[in-house]
Amino acid sequence: MRNAFVTGGDRGIGRAIVEMLVAMGHRVVFTYHRNEKAAVRTLKEIGPGKAECYKLDLRDYTRIRYLLLRLKRKGMVFDVVVNNAGILGRFRTIPTITRRDWDEVIAVNLSGPFYLMKWLLPLIRKGGCIINISSIAGKMGGTVGVHYAASKAGLIGFTFALARELAGSGIRVNAIAPGPVDTGLLTPQQKRRLSRLALLKRVARPEEIAHAVRFLIENEYITGEVIDINAGRYMD
Ligand SMILES: NC(=O)c1ccc[n+]([C@@H]2O[C@H](COP(=O)([O-])OP(=O)(O)OC[C@H]3O[C@@H](n4cnc5c(N)ncnc54)[C@H](OP(=O)(O)O)[C@@H]3O)[C@@H](O)[C@H]2O)c1
């Protein structure tokens, strides 16, 4: 059986990715941060024996290492890893972004995937793939603030460098840069405002991002690539 690891799989885009991976026949290990209710609900709705979940704060290097040692002791190896979990941070301009705001967004969105890959890499099977969920903000700045945009642009650079580093081991590394998606990350007002900017006049459904994850898993000739899913935002 193929195994997959997804961060932030309890809700939003991560949950859609978990469901899609289960539908593809993977057994999924996913993490959540604080929302145990959502994690339990996801496990229940997916059905018994198809997934397991662990509480994990991506800012906590020691815990990440501990979880990965636990999975290693269980003999787990992974075919797919999706670095999905992320936070938006508060909408702010440079003069009002505190050092704490900056550190937190960078810690979860950029240092977290690095910490995770450091310990997870030896558990990824040859021929496996890693998919990083970046954002349109990482390519064109977005509307949140420099902290979020820098974290997501950093994840794209991380993707390119890791794709080069792992090509010889037969592991592919790609990123997805979604525009606005219908999850709890955005308020209803933000979704309405951002819908107007898309050619298709709506935000994406989480399943539409999961679909790109599937594409990147199945197409074995793609590495070091960023897939944009934003309903024509670059055509403005
Ligand atoms: N929604 C969008 O419009 C959009 C657009 C472009 C890119 N993205 C990116 O897509 C990814 C998923 O976003 P989403 O919209 O699905 O967000 P979401 O619904 O807010 O879910 C965020 C996920 O990240 C987890 N998380 C938050 N802080 C964490 C931490 N410190 N350590 C570990 N996990 C943590 C959450 O766990 P809990 O549930 O336990 O809190 C949750 O599972 C993010 O990287 C986001 O930046 C989203």
Active-site annotation holds for 221: no
- pLDDT of 69 reads 97
Q: Which atom of ligand 1 is nearest to the CA of 34?
A: 40
Query: Ligand 1: which of 185, 202, 213, 227 to mutate, most ligand atoms within 8 Å of CB?
Result: 185
How would you label 93-120 residue by residue, b for 16+ Cβ within 10 Å and e otherwise? eeeebeeebbebbbbbbbbbbbbbbebb
**Atom 29 (ligand 1): residue with closest C-alpha?**
33
Indicate whether residue 67 lines ligand 1 (CB < 6 A): no
CATH class for domain 3-235? Answer: alpha beta
C-alpha 217 – ligand 1 centre gap (Å): 21
Q: Which atom of ligand 1 is nearest to the CA of 8?
A: 43
Query: Ligand 1: which of 11, 41, 192 to mutate, most ligand atoms within 8 Å of CB?
Result: 11
The two three-digit tokens of residue 165, written as one number? 């580093």
Are the CB atoms for 130 and 173 separated by under 8 Å? Answer: yes
pLDDT per residue rounded down to tens, the chain (236 residues): 899 999 999 999 999 999 999 999 999 999 999 999 999 999 999 999 999 999 999 999 999 999 999 999 999 999 999 999 999 998 889 999 999 999 999 999 999 999 999 999 999 999 999 999 999 999 999 989 999 999 999 999 999 999 999 999 999 999 999 999 999 999 999 999 999 989 999 999 999 999 999 999 999 999 999 999 999 999 87
Give φ, ψ of 83 to 5 degrees: -85, 90
